[in-house]
């Protein structure tokens, strides 16, 4: 089976997919490629995500379909809207809003390279507003019985002109009313993965709260103070053995703009035991808004 990273898609430029003409490749993931396309009927550019059938497995196909369906169910200003889902002779596809901006991971990385020390982290006020918006979107998704399961900076797009965050990539989302396609598998991104995902135990809204807490920690410090690890497996094992002692520093020790209250806020979201975390995103938002008032 061919790897998508080695595949050539230049022949697709100029072709029509559904109601859209493909203009140029925008990005690649593990299983799919995203193009910028032009929708003649509405005279707008949109994004087109394509999964070639040449690398299609039954599970990959179902996950791709589930990603489109999960996002299409949701209508929220901080979640990428899906326009159309379909397939051609050679690939599956869906179209979605084209966001002009950068991923949060790119923004964090750029800040971390600043020559001015206090600019190596994102401003606290802006960080809080971004994470509150992300949590509000997750709270809405949870109300629709959808758990994202892969919240991380690379899956949060920041619109250039408005600084509005938009959650994308529901590729491994769990639909409470549908088949769990990743049951029995460790799915997600290790650094942001909650302990219960590693243990393959019960997944619920608190799994996304854990990941959002890691994202908040990273935004406020530029890098996560994890203990040294030799491999992904080693990191996952450390998460399970060190539990609530995983991080070697507190946020307030890494960012002089923070106090110990922010340490408490973040570490509650990162509690090893889901019962010790915020019960839902609304409770997390309330705690952050109370902190906002005292900035």
What residue spans define the domains of the chain? 4-97, 101-293
Task: Look at residue 187 in the predicted model and tell me its pLDDT.
Answer: 61
| pLDDT, tens digit (0-9, with 9 covering 90-100), for 109-162 | 999 888 777 778 899 999 999 999 999 999 999 999 999 999 999 999 999 999
135: enclosing H helix or E strand: helix 124-143
pLDDT at 181: 44
pLDDT (average), residues 62-91: 88
Asked whether the predicted pLDDT for residue 1 surpasses 50, the reply is no
Instruction: Summarize the confidence of residues 208-227 as an average pLDDT.
Output: 97
pLDDT per residue over 251-276, tens digit each? 999 999 999 999 999 999 999 999 99
Backbone phi and psi for residue 267, each to the nearest 5 degrees, phi listed first: -70, -20
Average of per-residue pLDDT across 284-288: 98
Tell me the per-residue pLDDT of 165-184, one tens digit each, with 9 for 90 and over: 999 988 778 765 445 544 44
- List the catalytic residues: 150
Which of the four pLDDT bands, split at 50, 70 and 90, describes residue 186?
Answer: low
Averaged pLDDT score across all residues of the chain:
90
Q: Where are the beta strands (DSSP E) in the chain?
A: 16-17, 20-28, 33-39, 44-52, 82-87, 91-97, 101-103, 146-147, 156-159, 165-167, 174-175
Architecture category of domain 101-293 in CATH: Orthogonal Bundle (1.10)
Residue 53 pLDDT level (bands cut at 50, 70, 90): confident
Domain 4-97 has CATH 3.30.200.20: yes
Contact criterion met (CB below 8 Å) for 48 and 95: yes
**pTM (two decimals):** 0.91
pLDDT of residue 13: 95
What is residue 73's three-state secondary structure? Answer: helix
C-alpha to C-alpha distance for 182 and 173, rounded to whole angstroms: 9
pLDDT attached to residue 227: 96
Q: What percentage of the chain has pLDDT greater than the value 70?
A: 94
């Amino acid at each position: 089976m061919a790897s998508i990273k080695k595949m050539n898609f230049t022949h697709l430029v100029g072709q029509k997919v559904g109601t859209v003409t493909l203009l140029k490749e925008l990005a690649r993931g593990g299983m799919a490629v995203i193009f910028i396309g032009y929708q003649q009927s509405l005279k707008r550019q949109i994004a087109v995500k394509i999964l070639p059938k040449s690398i299609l497995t039954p599970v990959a196909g179902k996950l791709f379909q589930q990603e489109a369906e999960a996002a299409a169910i949701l209508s929220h200003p901080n979640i990428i809207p899906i326009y159309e889902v379909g397939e051609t002779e050679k690939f599956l596809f869906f179209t979605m809003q084209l966001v002009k901006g950068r991923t949060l991971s790119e923004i964090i990385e750029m800040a971390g390279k600043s020559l001015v020390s206090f600019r190596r982290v994102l401003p606290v006020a802006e960080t809080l507003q971004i994470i509150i918006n992300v949590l509000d979107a997750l709270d809405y998704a949870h109300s629709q019985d959808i758990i994202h399961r892969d919240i991380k900076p690379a899956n949060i797009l920041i619109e250039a002109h408005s600084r509005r965050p938009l959650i994308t990539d529901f590729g491994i989302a769990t639909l409470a009313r549908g088949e769990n396609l990743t049951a029995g598998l460790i799915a997600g991104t290790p650094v942001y993965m909650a302990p219960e995902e590693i243990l393959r135990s019960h997944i619920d809204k608190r799994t996304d709260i854990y990941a959002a807490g890691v994202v908040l920690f990273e935004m406020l410090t530029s890098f996560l103070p994890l203990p040294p690890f030799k491999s992904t497996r080693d990191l996952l094992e450390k998460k399970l053995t060190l539990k609530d002692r995983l991080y070697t520093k507190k946020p307030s020790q890494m960012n002089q703009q923070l106090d110990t209250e922010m340490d408490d806020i973040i570490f509650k979201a990162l509690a090893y035991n889901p019962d010790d975390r915020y019960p839902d995103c609304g409770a997390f938002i309330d705690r952050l808004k109370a902190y906002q008032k005292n900035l």
